[in-house]
C-alpha cells in the first residue's frame, strides 16, 4: 500500500495506482473537466487511461502523479510488532497483519477495478479498507463494526479516549499525566481494532468478496437492469 497525506492506494506498476474514492468526488472531478477527448483539457494528458473506472464504481486507476496531487508519498508498513504499533501516535501508518505476495495483491486490485468494492463509507469501507484488503485478503465478519483501517479507528478512538480520560482531571492535577493517559488509551483503542489482532476476521478470495458482503459489481448491476428492462417490455 502507498499513501498520500489523506489517501491510500495500491501501486500496480507502470506508474499506476488503483484506489477507492467516494463516487461523488469522482463525479465532481468529471464535471469540472471540459472535453476529455481534447488533450489540452484532459486532466492527465500523459496517461490516456488515467481515471479509468467502471460505471457506478469508486475504484479508480490513476497515474502516480494524479494520485499524489503534488503531495508526498508514504509507504504503509505491515507485520510490525505490537510495541512498534503502540508507539505510532498517528493512525493509518502500519498494521500487525502480514502482506500477501505482490502478484496476489495486484490481482485483487485489478479484479476490484473491474468489479467494484461496494459503497464508500468513511467509517466502514474507505480507501484504506480497500488497500488493506488488497494487501491481506482479510475481511471483518461483523459488518456493523468499525472498518479494517487505522483511519476509521483513529477517528473514533481519539474522541473516545478524551472522553474516558476527562474524569481523571479531577484525580490527576498534572496536565502531563492526563495527556499521557489519554494518549495511551488512544493507542490501545487503535491496537484493539487493528486487523492483525482482531479475532473476527477471515481470509476471503477476491472472487468471493461480493458474495460475502452482498455487493453487486457494476457488471452485475448492468445485467440486472437489462433483465428488468426485458421483463417490462414483454409484459
Contact yes or no for 1/9 (Cβ under 8 A): yes
Q: What's the chain's average pLDDT?
A: 73
Of residues 187 and 222, more confidently modeled: 187
Q: For residues 18 and 182, what is the distance between their CA atoms, to the nearest angstrom?
A: 36
Is residue 19 pLDDT above 50, yes or no? yes
At 222 the pLDDT is 45
Looking at mean pLDDT, say which of 48-62, 63-77, 152-166 comes out highest.
Answer: 48-62
3-state secondary structure of 118: coil
Model confidence, pTM: 0.71
Contact yes or no for 112/38 (Cβ under 8 A): no
> pLDDT tens, 113-143?
999 998 898 888 889 999 999 999 998 876 5
At 142 the pLDDT is 66
64 C-beta neighbours (distance < 10 Å), count: 17
At 143 the pLDDT is 57
Q: Which range among 44-53, 85-94, 95-104 shows the weakest confidence by mean pLDDT? A: 85-94
Q: Burial of 58 by CB count in 10 Å (0-12 exposed, 13-18 middle, 19+ buried)?
A: buried
Say what percent of the chain tops pLDDT 70: 61
At 33 the pLDDT is 42
Residues classed as catalytic:
7, 19, 127
Helix, strand and coil content of the chain, in percent to the nearest 5, comes to 45, 15, 40
Say what percent of the chain tops pLDDT 90: 31
At 185 the pLDDT is 57
Alpha carbon dihedral 66, 68, 69, 71, in 10-degree steps, equals -160
- The owner of cell 474524569 is 167
Q: What is the mean pLDDT of residues 35-58?
A: 73
HSE, CB side, 13 Å, CA atoms: give it for residue 150: 26
Amino acid at each position: 500500500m502507498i499513501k498520500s497525506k489523506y489517501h491510500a492506494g495500491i501501486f500496480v506498476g507502470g506508474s499506476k495506482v488503483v484506489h477507492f474514492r467516494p463516487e461523488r468526488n469522482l463525479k465532481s472531478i468529471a464535471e469540472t473537466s471540459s472535453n476529455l477527448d481534447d488533450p489540452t483539457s484532459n486532466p492527465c494528458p500523459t496517461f490516456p487511461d488515467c481515471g479509468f473506472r467502471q460505471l457506478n464504481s469508486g475504484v479508480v486507476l490513476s497515474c502516480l502523479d494524479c494520485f499524489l496531487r503534488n503531495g508526498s508519498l508514504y509507504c504503509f508498513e505491515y507485520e510490525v510488532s505490537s510495541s512498534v504499533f503502540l508507539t505510532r501516535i498517528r493512525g493509518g501508518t502500519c498494521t500487525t497483519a502480514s502482506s500477501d505476495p505482490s502478484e496476489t495483491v495486484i490481482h485483487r486490485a485489478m479484479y476490484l477495478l473491474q468489479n467494484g468494492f461496494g459503497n464508500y463509507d468513511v467509517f466502514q469501507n474507505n480507501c484504506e479498507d480497500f488497500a488493506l484488503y488488497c494487501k491481506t485478503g482479510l475481511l471483518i465478519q461483523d459488518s456493523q463494526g468499525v472498518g479494517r483501517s487505522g483511519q476509521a479507528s483513529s477517528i473514533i478512538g481519539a474522541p473516545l479516549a478524551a472522553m474516558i480520560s476527562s474524569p481523571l482531571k479531577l484525580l490527576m492535577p498534572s496536565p502531563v499525566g492526563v495527556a499521557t493517559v489519554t494518549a495511551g488509551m488512544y493507542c490501545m483503542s487503535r491496537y484493539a481494532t487493528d486487523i492483525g489482532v482482531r479475532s473476527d476476521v477471515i481470509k476471503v478470495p477476491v472472487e468471493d468478496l461480493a458474495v460475502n458482503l452482498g455487493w453487486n459489481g457494476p457488471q452485475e448491476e448492468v445485467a440486472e437492469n437489462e433483465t428488468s428492462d426485458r421483463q417490462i417490455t414483454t409484459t
